[in-house]
Amino acid sequence: MSMWARAIELVSQQVVRISSGDIRGTGFVSYGRQRGTRIVATAQHVVESAINNESPIHVGHGQQVLTLGSSGLNRRFVHKTTEGLDSAILAFVAKELPQPTVPILDPASPAELGHIEVGAEVGWLGFPALRTVNRLCFFSGRISMIDPHGRFLLDGTNVHGCSGGPAFFVTSDGPRIIGVVSSYFPNENFRDMENKLIGLAPGLTAIADVTNYKGIEAALNKLPDHRGQEQTVSIKLDKCAKCGAELVKGTYPRERAPTLLCSKGCGPLIDLLDESLVNAFPGGARSLNQFLYDSHESVM
């Protein structure tokens, strides 16, 4: 088996389909813990419409299809990584998805960063949104330009549906993921300085850098939910976390969702809790809010 064939085999194990409404794209599991927390990396434009419209996002892997909606254990947490960079993550609890076997390039490693240079060969995977093709496809090209804002341009083809797929290179230690497929600049007629037609310029594929995901991984690893031993967190259901006043049942402002409110006006209990605790709860803020409300039996 060739070096590239082995790399494709490894990376493809963590690639997923992503769809929402009429949008079709690709993503990959970039982070996973034993208890089920997963991060799926993709292109921001693949999920942006669903985020804005609060529409369900479907993530498929093999025969499994997970629906990330507005309630339940699969309440998603969406993070847009860097302003102006077409990359995003979906974080949720789903043991159905694999833990990643291929790591993201470590920006703190000079040896790994040394592979990122003009002329270096890069491959990428994605699910083309074509009627005649319903399988994961491989593409490759060489780095034509490195954008200082975190984007690579590659002299290779991209197809609609492959946006969000992983881009990777191969080292002696195995493959490393360097980014997500962002967009494609198709062939265009090229003219010289005198406006004479020369011919078609090659198409270019844009790859968004995802090494900034490393900081998100580090933050998740610090949460109690990811430590080696089981831990419990105590939340008082009868006193305000801010002022200690009595809690009363009510509804979340501007929403119909039931919630516990501070009787002195500090606001909903869910908004007064530590953000890391809220994000660590399976299902996120809405699920934790409902859990606290249902667990609160003593306050009339």
6 lies in some domain: no
Contact assessment for residue 195 and residue 187, using Cβ atoms and an 8 Å cutoff: no
Stretch among 112-116, 119-123, 187-191, 260-264 having the lowest mean pLDDT: 187-191
Same domain, 131 and 255: no
Band of pLDDT at residue 81, cut at 50, 70 and 90: low
Q: What is the pLDDT of residue 280?
A: 61
How sure is the predictor about 71, in pLDDT bands with cuts at 50, 70 and 90?
very low
Number of domains in the chain: 3
Angle 53-161-186 from CA coordinates, rounded to 5°? 115
What is the pLDDT at residue 226? 42
Can you give the pLDDT at residue 121?
A: 93
Residue-level pLDDT at 72: 41
Q: Is 12 exposed, middle or buried (0-12, 13-18, 19+ CB in 10 A)?
A: middle
Write the CA distances from 204 to 132, 143, 174, 211, integer angstroms. 24, 10, 26, 21
pLDDT of 157-201, one tens digit each? Answer: 888 889 999 999 998 888 999 999 988 777 665 555 566 665 555
Are residue 95 and residue 135 in the same domain, yes or no?
no
Two tokens at 219? Answer: 């933050």
Whether 255 has a pLDDT exceeding 80, the answer reads no
Say whether both 84 and 129 belong to one domain.
Answer: no
- 195, 226, 257: which is the final residue of a domain? 226
* Single residue among 160, 187, 211 that ends a domain in this structure: 211
Average pLDDT over residues 233-243: 75
Domain boundaries, position 48: 15-100+216-226
**Residues 54 and 116 occupy one common structural domain:** no
Mark whether 148 and 203 lie in a shared domain: yes
Of 185, 211, 237, the one marking the end of a domain is 211
**Looking at the domain assignment, is residue 117 inside a domain?**
yes
- Cβ(130)–Cβ(149) under 8 Å? no
